[in-house]
A = this chain, B = another copy of it.
Amino acid sequence: MTSEEAQRGYHHGNLRTALIAAGVELARTGGPSAVLLRAASREAGVSHNAAYRHFANQEDLVAAVAERCMEHLGRLMVARMDEVTERGPVPRALARLAAIGRAYIDFARTEPGWFRTAFSSARPHDDAGPPLSEMDESLSPYALLTARLDEVADVGAIAADRRPGAEYVAWSAVHGISSLLLDGPLRALPGAEVEQVIETVLAGVTRSLGA
């Protein structure tokens, strides 16, 4: 049902998918404010009000595009995590944690439009209840981070009293440096210095865990 539908082609059929794909491309270059109904329709080769058959309004389209951007981020994190080659349990767990942090930062730097879009309309994170989105939960950056921290705790590389709230410390640092490199006063920092700053921040996170 889903897979045949996705193959059917544009002119009749999966316009919703096509519009989201077009929106993702617009977001890539121009960020969330470039995700316009008319532009996406144009890109999809369709009249500019056909979109209303698939989205209630522009906000709806942006939300769908944002979800795809978040998925892209999650996928990069998983890919980088899986590349880790360390063998010992402790080095491996720490390397996997660092890898997803690195991926997050790299995503912000190489795909700033997607990064900004992903967080422009993020739904609130609710602990209970059915998910508000259709996104694969295993690609959620937050879920990935939690799993990594659990891993680190499992191998005993983090003091028990430092596990609670560790998500926020790690996420804040990584999200913060990403934002500062994009929008902040670090925007024009030369490449070599950027590398050093990233290393320092990631090391700071590890250290704050008491590892």
Report A's interface with B, CB cutoff 8 A. Answer: 33, 119-120, 122-126, 142, 164-165, 168-169, 171-180, 183-189, 196-197, 200-201, 204-205, 207-208, 210
Contact = CB atoms under 8 A, between A and B. Distances in A.
Contacts of A196: 165
A11 to B, nearest CB: 36
A139 B17 CA distance: 49
A178 B169 CA distance: 12
Query: Chain A binding site: helix, strand, loop or mixed by DSSP?
Result: helix
Nearest to A140: B185
Given A33-B33, A119-B184, 4 more contacts: A124-B185, A126-B188, A165-B196, A175-B180
A176 B167 CA distance: 12
A165 B200 contact: yes
A162 to B, nearest CB: 8
A124 B188 contact: yes
Contacts of A171: 176, 180
Nearest to A124: B188
Nearest to A202: B169
A185 B124 CA distance: 5
Contacts of A184: 119, 122, 175
B179 A173 contact: no
A187 B122 contact: yes
Contact of A169 (B123, B187, B204): B204
Contacts of A126: 188
Interface centre among A173, A185, A208 (most CB of B within 10 A): A173
A185 B119 CA distance: 8
